[in-house]
A and B are shown apart, each in its own frame.
Chain A
Amino acid sequence: MAYLEIKGATKSFGNFTALNGVDVSVERGEFFTLLGPSGCGKTTLLRAIAGFNDLTSGDITVDGADLRRVPPHQRDIGMVFQDYAVFPHLSVFDNVAFGLKPRKVPAAEIRTRVAAALAAVHLEKLADRLPAAMSGGQQQRIGLARAMVINPRLLLMDEPLSNLDAKLRIELREEIRDIQKQVGIATIYVTHDQEEALAISDRICVMSAGHIEQIGTPQQIYGNPQTRFVAEFVGTLNRLAPGAATDTLVAGLGVKNAALWAIRPERLALAAPGEAGVAGTVTRYTYLGREAHVHVETAVGNLAVQVANPGMAAVSAVGDAVTLRLDPASLLAFDADGKRIGAEP
């Protein structure tokens, strides 16, 4: 039995079903991410684990013990909030020490543990300051230290980086990852940012409309999506336009019942002159430094091509005639229900 076990989690608000029979299990020390668009139920599930909103039905157990029977303040679960929830009237030190007081930790030990937690998030110099004037990144570091210092059984993070700017987001997500690995605490992380989820997680659970689409490692989620939803939500996807040209292209693959054919932009390339492939015309060229996106109108639809390391000279102009290198084996097929055909299990 896994460390955290959730079975048949269901939550209804009136007629609306926010969670519909969700099963999740998380191992000790695992970094587990709930990924999905807003309204998919990820935050509802997290808050049910924390105890702020109870489930309508279902079981949550930690280490074999039923969590739903424990009131939220006795669950021993650390939580990091999207809006930081740093106590504005307490100093940084007192914020972090706050959770140690009801645990009756001796004063001397509080000092050493808080100092260690603050050092881990690089805030040791600001211990006596009030958090009000601090940056979002610093406030979230306080939130993180405060949740970790109590040595909780589980660490929950509700979109902790979504209010920070892009650069800080990357910096802090790596710090979170490092600290989590050092402490080895089972962590449930909620986000709607697919890149963040891929970068930080041991395993990802992609959710949509209250149910689970797929659970797997970042590599499995990106490289082997089980459903059209996962393939579209994580990364970008070129959809081939249905028609004679597409039928010809996929004829050799022997797949029946495919409702949709698609391919990732990085699986396409601009062919060398004279090379055979799919002919088309450039409709847009976006230069991004380390890569460029070329949109090409072809017989199988308008396809985006990701070109890595575009050289100074490799500039396509709108209207240029180009040929695309397209390996039919890279195509993804989905049936009418959005299930992937021919996925590896």
Chain B
Amino acid sequence: MRLRLNFWTIVAILTWGLLAVLLFEPVGSVLITSLFDKDGNFTLANYGTFFSQWRFAQSFFNTLVVGFGALAGALVLGCTMAFCVSRFTIAGSRFLSLLSILALVSPPFIGAYSWIVLFGAGGVVRGALRDFGINMPPIYGLGGILMVFALKFYPYVYLMVSGALGNVNRSLEEAAEGLGLTPWQRVFKISLPMVFPAISASALLVFVLAIADFGTPRLLGRGYSVLATEAFAAYSAEIGSNFSMGTTISVVLIFVSLVFVALQRYMSRRNVYHGNLINKPTRIRLKGWRNVLAHVVVYAIGLCGAMPVIVSVYYSFRKTNGPVFQDGFALQSYERILFNLADVVTNSLTFSLVAVLLIVAAGTIVGVLVARRTSLNTSLLDAAFMIPYVMPGIVIGIAYIAAFNTGPVVLTGTAAIIILSIFIRRLPYTVRTTATALRQIAPSLEEAAVSLGYSPFRSFLKITVPLIVPGIIAGGMLSFVTAINELSSSLVLYVGSTMTMPVRIYLLVLDGDFGTAAAMSSILLLLSGLAVYIAFRFMGRNEQALL
């Protein structure tokens, strides 16, 4: 007993140490740097600048506009799709949810670029329409950002809300029907309040993801700046680089994000109705034009969401001459990757695999600690693990530069700093899923093993571990998807030799080399898809786990 207690005490100490070095110190550095001027004197001038300069006020306002706009768009698309798929018989609904998974795991900002290819200044679709005499404005600016965000983030709303709709006991709606409510009244008075927690939680999640997104406003904004792009600009400007301004913007971004994450946590906790599911919801088979309309709407959403993926796979096989597309198909883009950019693919694979191994090892042990050794210490730990959720990737990147550029440990320019930044951002997920999985295993299982003659530790190994391993592998695979697609923190942290695939894609897109970018995106997509497939093999098809 005494020895085990010591083991877990050591784990707790190590965990706090890990958090201190990889999380508190960097985030603290951001805060501190924002409070000092170039000569090292304490000052609030940075915040003064932020709140007095029109440019920053504008980007702050823009961030909120983008956040709420993305929230509204994703809600409309996601709720429509969730409602149609879970209440009506839709042909090929598994294919539809595959489309939403594609949108979910597609590499970041490639969405933005694909839409530029279609609807940008020289866009294919726009050009075709012009031939017919239809002039539509190019996609740049706020409208484009919001459209891309709505299509990129709707799967979060769709998956969460359709999960909740599937849990509304049909008897409740029947009871309302019996009491004389019309179908519309039933939707608004019964179904909607029941799924409201899922709707609000997913909406706020979309908000937090949207304001953290860097690539989309960067590519589509054309002068429409948000906090994430401002922070990166302040950090990366070659002349007059203003690091403390970058950290100041980061702190503001953290704060906005924190408010909405707190709101999301609050929303997802209250009003959660646990009904029995004796009477499962059924799907209605629509007739005539209603049926056609429902199918058109959900397939339009699904296909538009997956459009970037379709576009990049298609263009990856197009013949090119330099950056210019030619008629016909060829494997030139893939050849270019194979001969010139193989190291980038290797980097991405190595970094992601190392990060995932670390995440799984540390996450599982800490998850056991959090689930099984409940004390004040561990609930604090649980809370500390919320911090990475709040941190936009760009901020983690800037924080790691602030913490590891000078001082006792210099990591800038190494692979380690990229791996660690991925590690800390994804660790909380594994801790949480492990802890949840452990809490779902009845304590009586281990007690049964003890009563049959196994020591507590052997009972844990023989019973609990085999039961949680499939979930851990699946979680590891999903972390791999996040890791290999990570752009914003790597963009701040990379040097030439540690370039990853998303960074390379971003640079290729800036250079206008869309063929290579598309091919690399397709490779990234293939790897992500493979990981999702393995994850689903281990835990069953469960789209909810992707959130």
Contacts and interface: CB of A to CB of B under 8 A. Distances in A.
Contacts of B444: 81-83, 85
A98 interface: yes
Given A73-B459, A98-B452, 4 more contacts: A77-B451, A102-B454, A103-B453, A146-B452
Nearest to B444: A85
B370 to A, nearest CB: 22
Interface in A107-123: none
Interface in A48-95: 50-52, 71-79, 81-83, 85, 87-89
Interface string B441-459: 0101101111111111011
B454 A81 contact: no
Interface of B: 442, 444-445, 447-456, 458-459, 463, 466-467
B442 to A, nearest CB: 6
B467 A85 contact: no
A77 B447 CA distance: 11
A147 B455 CA distance: 16
A89 B455 CA distance: 19
Contacts of A137: none
Given A85-B442, A88-B467, A89-B467, A79 B448 contact: yes
Given A85-B442, A85-B445, A89-B466, A74 B452 contact: no
A230 interface: no
A52 B447 CA distance: 7
Given A81-B444, A85-B444, A85-B445, A99 B452 contact: yes
B265 to A, nearest CB: 30
B453 A50 contact: no
A72 B445 contact: no
Interface of A: 50-52, 71-79, 81-83, 85, 87-89, 98-99, 102-103, 143, 146-147, 150, 156
A73 B448 contact: no
Contacts of A88: 467
Contacts of A52: 447, 450
Nearest to B453: A102
A102 B452 contact: yes
Nearest to A80: B448
Nearest to B463: A87
B167 to A, nearest CB: 22
Residue in B447, B452, B454, B455 with the greatest tally of chain A CB atoms within 10 Å: B452
In the A-B complex, the 4 residue pairs with the smallest Cβ-Cβ separation, listed nearest first, are A99-B452, A85-B444, A102-B453, A85-B448
A264 to B, nearest CB: 37
Contacts of B455: 71, 73
A13 to B, nearest CB: 16
A156 B450 CA distance: 13
Contacts of A98: 449, 452
Nearest to B462: A98
Contacts of A87: 445, 448-449, 463
A77 B455 CA distance: 14
A280 B38 CA distance: 99
A73 B450 contact: yes
B453 A73 contact: yes
A147 B452 CA distance: 7
Contacts of A74: 453
Nearest to A143: B448
Nearest to B452: A99
Contacts of A143: 448
Contacts of B442: 83, 85
A102 B448 CA distance: 13
A186 B467 CA distance: 33
A73 B454 contact: yes
A156 B448 CA distance: 11
A132 to B, nearest CB: 11
A77 B451 CA distance: 6
A185 B417 CA distance: 63
Given A85-B442, A87-B463, A79 B453 contact: no
25 contacts: A50-B447, A71-B455, A73-B451, A73-B452, A73-B453, A74-B453, A79-B448, A79-B451, A81-B447, A81-B448, A82-B444, A83-B442, A83-B444, A85-B444, A87-B448, A87-B463, A88-B467, A89-B466, A99-B453, A102-B452, A102-B453, A102-B454, A143-B448, A146-B448, A147-B452
